[in-house]
Amino acid sequence: MSAQEKVFEKLNELNIKYEVMNHPAVFTIEEMDALNITEQGDVCKNLFLRDEKGKRHFLVVLDKDKKADLKDIQKQLGSTRLSFASAERLDKYLKLQKGEVTPLGVINDEEGSVEVVFDNDLIGKTKLGVHPNDNTATVWISFEDLKKVIDHNGNKIKYLNI
């Protein structure tokens, strides 16, 4: 079963409504802009971070147009110094590659060890765009349904002002 099929199976199992938009592989928001994907809804930018000792991992989800201040996020989380996690850690915890980072990656986090951090401005959005664990498609899903997937997987969720 492909990474995408696994996502769609989970969404269907949870009775979540979603739309899928297939497109060429994209690695940046700029590439999504060039394909007019970002005009369809609120596309999310996703950052996979780790604390200083590599004990805690965070998947930070924010609007594509926002800039993430790692020092501010660290302070709000009460964490040690944050940095971007390596490709090896991304694969180990979420079974994703660079360019595929998405909150739906928690489906692969069987331990529920990655903490998902949402920007407060995403709450209530009805059409968020995230990858289905593969950067050749975008899934459109409501914030509430995205939260439902993460809750179902058992990952901790935190809300910050980013």
CB atoms within 10 A of CB 98: 12
Q: Could you report the per-residue pLDDT of 48-62, keeping only the tens digit for each?
A: 999 999 999 999 999
What is each CA distance from 138 to 33, 38, 115, 116, 159, in whole angstroms? 13, 10, 22, 19, 23
Residue 153: per-residue pLDDT:
95
d(CA 78, CA 81): 10
At 141, list the tokens.
């899903």
**What's the pLDDT band for 151 if we cut at 50, 70, 90?**
very high
Mean pLDDT to the nearest integer, 13-27: 94
**What's the pLDDT band for 1 if we cut at 50, 70, 90?**
confident
Residue 61: per-residue pLDDT:
97
Is the pLDDT at 127 greater than 90? The verdict is yes
Q: What is the CA radius of gyration of the chain?
A: 15
The full set of domains in the chain, from first to last, is: 3-160 (3.90.960.10)
At 133, list the tokens.
């664990």
Q: Could you report the per-residue pLDDT of 26-48, keeping only the tens digit for each?
A: 988 889 999 999 888 999 999 99
